[in-house]
Amino acid sequence: MDTKTLILGQKNKKTWIEIHNLKAIGQMVRKKRKKMGMTQAEAAGLCNVGARFMSELENGKATMHFDKIMKVLRSFGFIIGISERL
């Protein structure tokens, strides 16, 4: 994962990561979940998804429901942006 910092003002720095596949998203979610001291089951409850879905997301399963992925990311405080390659 390519990590970059986007500066939106003196006090407003955002770190953004270039995502190339679902495995990278799963790694981000796992890292945040562990930082919060939560089990997969607890995280699934927080995000209102099943524990199996949470496990499959963290393991980078290639066929996931985008709307559920977005629900998990929002629940963990992530945002997703999209831009054209330069």
pTM, 2 dp = 0.78
Q: Is the sign of the CA dihedral 36, 13, 16, 74 positive or negative?
A: positive
Assigned domain for 50 exists: yes
Residue pair 79/25 in contact (Cβ under 8 Å)? The answer is no
Report residue 36's pLDDT band, with 50, 70 and 90 as the boundaries. Answer: very high
pLDDT digits (tens, 9 = 90+) for 14-25: 677 778 888 999
For the chain, the straight-line distance linking the first and the last C-alpha, in angstroms and rounded, comes to: 18
Assigned domain for 74 exists: yes
Count the domains in the chain: 1
Report residue 6's pLDDT band, with 50, 70 and 90 as the boundaries. Answer: very low
Check which CATH number belongs to the domain holding 69 and give it: 1.10.260.40
Assigned domain for 1 exists: no
- Mean model confidence pLDDT for the chain: 85
Report residue 7's pLDDT band, with 50, 70 and 90 as the boundaries. Answer: very low
19 contacts: CB under 8 Å, gap ≥ 6: 1, 25
Residue 14, token pair as written in the block:
């955002």
